[in-house]
Amino acid sequence: MATIGDVAREAGVARSTVSAVLTGRKYVSPEIRERVDAAISELNYTVSARARALATNRTMNIGLVVHFHEAEFAPALSTYITAISESAGNHGYRIMLLTGADAPEDIRRAIAEGVIDGLILLNVVEDDPRLAPIREARFAAVAIGMPSNTDGIDAVDLNFEEAARRIVQRVHEQGGKHIALLGWPQEVYDSGATYATRFRDVALASAQALGLPLDLYSLSVTPSEVREQLHALLSQGNHDALVVHNDAAIAMLPLALRDLPTPHPYVISLHSTELARLFQVPFDAVESEPELSSAAAVDLLVARLNDGDAPFARQLIDAVVREASAD
C-alpha cells in the first residue's frame, strides 16, 4: 500500500502538502494540486482510514444499535438498517452494528474504544436503558422512537398522535359508527413502546371527541394466531369500522374478511410502506416511510457531530395517507 510519503516523493512535495490536498482544508496552488493528484492516481493511493482516525480523532463510523426481539414480526427492520446505512454513506459515514445482548455495555465499550463517532438507536422505548451510557459519556446519539426523557440525545419518531387523529377523523367521514381498534399484544403496551400507547391514547380521545364508541383489542403478532382472533372478532359483526395498528393483523386481515359475509367493515390501518408493499394491503392506510425516518435520524446525527452544542431536537415525521386502490 502506498503511503502519503510515497505520494509526496512522487509529486516532489512535502507530506503536509499532500495532506492539504487530501483534506481540502488549505489552499494549494492548482499546479501543485495537479501534481499531487497525478501522483495519487499513479500510485493508486487511498488514505488510510486507520491513520486518519487516529490523527483526527474521528472514525467516520456511526454505531447502529439494534436489538432483534425473538418473537417480533417486523418486516421493516431490514429496511431501516439499509436506509440508515445508505443515508450515512451519503454523508461519508459507515455503519457499525451494535447487537450485543447487553446493549448498554456494548454501547459503553464502543464509546470507550473509540470505534464510532456517534450512535443511532432503533426502537427506543419510553425508559430505555441504552440511554444511560450515552448520557454518561455525553456522546452524540439519536433515538428512533420517543423516550420520555430526551435530555442529551436527539430523537426522531413518527407522529403517531397526528396519525391517530387523521385515522379516526377518516373513519368518521366514512360513516363509521362503532370502531374496533386492533392493536398490539398487551406486552407491547406494557413495555413502554410509546408508538403503541401514543397512537392508542390519541385514537381513544379522538373517537370520544367525535362521540364514536371505540373498543380496544390486543391481538397477537403470530400470523396464525392473529387469524383466529380476527375470525372470532369479526364474526360477531359488532363493528362497522376497523382501525388497525398491528402489522401481523393487517397482513392477515384480507384473508380473515374473505370468510365473512359482506358488507365488510370499513378498514384503515397504520403501518409501514414496507409492510404495504410486501403484503399488498388493500385498505385505506396511513403509512410510515422507514426511509424518511432513517434519513432524518442520520441528518440529525451528522448535524450534532458538526455542532455538539446545538439544542437537542425532537423531530416528528408525519405519516402519509394512502387510499386503497379500488378493487
Partner DNA sequence: CTGAAAGCGCTTACAG
- Binding partner of residue 16 among DNA, a copy of itself, none, CB under 5 to 8 Å per kind? DNA
Q: How many residues does the chain have?
A: 327
How are beta strands 320-322 and 284-288 bridged, if at all?
antiparallel
What residues between 289 and 308 interact with DNA by CB under 7 A? none
The answer to whether the beta carbons of residues 129 and 104 sit under 8 Å apart is yes
Min dist CB 293 to a copy of itself, Å, is: 16
C-alpha 319/C-alpha 271 separation (Å) is 9
Min dist CB 135 to a copy of itself, Å, is: 16
What residues between 3 and 62 interact with DNA by CB under 7 A? 3-5, 13-20, 22-23, 25-29, 31-32, 45, 47-48, 50-52, 54-57
Min dist CB 140 to DNA, Å, is: 18
Of 286, 288, 263, the residue nearest 176 (C-alpha): 263
Our CA angle for 106, 107, 113, nearest 5°, is 90
Residue 135 near a copy of itself by CB under 8 A: no
The answer to whether the beta carbons of residues 128 and 146 sit under 8 Å apart is no
Only segment of 76-84, 165-173, 299-307, 317-325 that touches a copy of itself (CB under 8 A): 76-84
Q: Which of residues 203 and 301 has its CB atom nearest to a copy of itself in the complex? A: 301
Helix (H, G, I), strand (E, B) or coil at 58: coil
Residue 324 near a copy of itself by CB under 8 A: no
C-alpha 208/C-alpha 194 separation (Å) is 21
The answer to whether the beta carbons of residues 208 and 179 sit under 8 Å apart is no
Residue 97 near a copy of itself by CB under 8 A: yes
Residue 325 near a copy of itself by CB under 8 A: no
C-alpha 105/C-alpha 120 separation (Å) is 15
C-alpha 245/C-alpha 259 separation (Å) is 22
- Binding partner of residue 292 among DNA, a copy of itself, none, CB under 5 to 8 Å per kind? none
**Which residues of this protein are in contact with a copy of itself, per CB under 8 A?**
1, 46-51, 53-54, 57, 59, 61, 64, 66, 68, 71, 73-75, 77-79, 81-82, 85-86, 89, 94-100, 109-110, 112-115, 222-225, 227, 251, 254-255, 277-280, 282
